[in-house]
Every structure is written in structure tokens, then in C-alpha cells.
Amino acid sequence: MLFLIIVGIAAGFLATRLMRIETDVPTTIVIGVAGALIGGLLLRSIIALTSWAAGLVGAVLGAMALIWLYKTYVDR
């Protein structure tokens, strides 16, 4: 929890500077912590989806390799 607050403070500070808005310290912290939660959830979702798709591609490539081996060496 403390790590999230520290990251949130840094993220809020950077985000308010990049977006060129002036906020007080508590607002900056709230923006940063909320952004860290939303960004972390989004990033985990994207990673979960891409890892699922990568698993499917790997499974198809593995099955194709087995079919090639079967046709080459077994089914003559």
C-alpha cells in the first residue's frame, strides 16, 4: 500500500506537469493513486489478453509442427 502511494505521488506529479495543470498536493496524490490503479488494471488486462492470444498461436504452431512430423515420418 505504501509503495502504491509513493508511485501515485510520483505519477500524479509527472502527470500534472505533463498536462500543464496546477493542483494542490492532495489532489495530485489522489490523481496519481487513482491513475496507478486504473493504469495497472488496464495493463494487466492487456497482458492477460495478449498472453492468451500468444498461447493460442503457440498451440496452433505446435499442432502444425506435429502434423508435419506425422506426414513426413509416419504417414508414408
Condensed to tens digits (0 to 9), the pLDDT of residues 17-37 reads 999 888 888 888 888 888 888
Q: What is the pLDDT of residue 48?
A: 87
70 confidence band (pLDDT: 50, 70, 90): confident
CA atoms of 30 and 9, how far apart (whole Å): 8
- 41: nearest Cα among 2, 4, 10: 4
Find out whether 31 and 9 touch, Cβ atoms under 8 Å.
no
Q: What is the pLDDT of residue 62?
A: 85
Calculate the average pLDDT of the chain.
Answer: 85
Enumerate residues 6+ apart whose C-beta is below 8 A from 25.
none
24: left (phi over 0), alpha (psi -120 to 50) or beta: beta
Q: What is the pLDDT of residue 33?
A: 87
Joined together, the cell numbers standing for residue 5 give 502511494
